[in-house]
Amino acid sequence: MKKLTKKAENLLLLIWVQAFLALAGSLFYSEVMNYVPCELCWYQRILMYPLVLIYGVAAIKKDISIALPGLFMSGIGILVSTYHYLVQHVSIFQEVGGACSGSVPCNVIYVNYFGFISIPFMAGIAFLIIFVLHLLILREQGRKA
C-alpha cells in the first residue's frame, strides 16, 4: 500500500461525495417524488450504492487499491446509463425499452431538464465523474512512484 498524496486524498473524497450525492438523488426521486424506478434504474442503483461504501472505506484508510472494484462498477454504470438514456431519447431504442420486465417501462421520462437531462443522464455523468477521478488518482500515484 502506497501512501496517497494530498491531491489523491482530495480526489478520493470527491469521488465519495459524488457517489453519496448520486445515492441521495436517487432516493429523493423514488422516496420523496414517488417516481417508481424501472429495471434499468435498479441496475444503475445496484452499481452506484456500493460505491459510497467502497470509496468511503478507501478514503478512511487512505488506500485506493481497495477501491479497484469501484473503477469497474463505475465503468459498467457508464454503459448501463448510456443505454438507458438511448432507450429514453432515441426512437430505435425506445421500442426495445418499453419491454422492460418491471412494472415501469424503461423509456418513461420522469424529468427532462433543459430538454436532455434525464435521470439516466445524471447517473451517467455521476459514473463518469467517479471513473475519471479514479483514473486521475491512479495517475497521480503513478507519478509519485
Q: Is residue 115 part of a domain?
A: yes
Q: Are 77 and 47 in contact (CB under 8 A)?
A: yes
With a CB cutoff of 8 Å and minimum separation 6, the contacts of 99 are 105
Q: Is residue 63 part of a domain?
A: yes
With a CB cutoff of 8 Å and minimum separation 6, the contacts of 108 are 38, 88
Q: With cut-offs at 50, 70 and 90, classify the pLDDT of residue 23.
A: very high
Average per-residue pLDDT for the chain: 91
Q: Is residue 47 part of a domain?
A: yes
pLDDT tens digits along 30-62? 999 999 999 999 999 999 999 999 999 999 999
How far apart CA 106 and CA 130 sit, in angstroms, is: 24
Overall domain count for the chain: 1
pLDDT tens digits along 90-123? 888 777 655 677 788 888 889 999 999 999 999 9
Q: Is residue 1 part of a domain?
A: no
| Entry pTM | 0.92
pLDDT of residue 97: 57
Q: Are 127 and 74 in contact (CB under 8 A)?
A: yes
pLDDT of residue 51: 98
Q: Tell me the average pLDDT across 7-23.
A: 97
pLDDT of residue 95: 72
Owning domain of residue 68: 6-144
